Amino acid sequence: MTDYFHLNINRDALLSLSALGLAHLGDGVYEVMVRSWLALHGGARVKNLHRATVKYVAAPAQAERFEKIRTILTEEESDVFRRGRNTAPHSIPKTASRAQYQTATGLEALFGWLYLQGRTDRLNELFSALMEGE
């Protein structure tokens, strides 16, 4: 049985996955981390939790926060980010520019890539840097 909470996919297998597939998974990973952060910090009432979550997971917010970690990414992580960012989006939400949406997709691809390798320490390190000052 596969343990989906403790994955350790080798890098060669990861190369066969699409950037959008990584971003799809990374979107969920990032949202779970934001929801956990909100629950632990208790800053929002229950009725406002969804609104607070959306504030952090929306493409413009992700793109803005990405600048906090750009300089601390390894070369390999930067490559994964660029691969996700450079994937042609099928549609762009009205609330985001094309550049914001592509940056958010790159960030999500990076989070999906790290998650599939079981690199939770690095995910936590990057997420903490993203949330610094909140």
Cβ contact 23:103 at 8 Å: no
114: how many CB neighbours lie within 10 A of its CB? 22
Query: What is the per-residue burial (b if ≥16 Cβ within 10 Å, else e) of 82-111?
Result: ebbbebeeeeeeeebeeebbbbbbbbbbbb
Count the residues in the chain: 134
- Catalytic residue from among 12, 27, 79, 121: 27
Active-site residue, 27 included: yes
Catalytic residues: 27
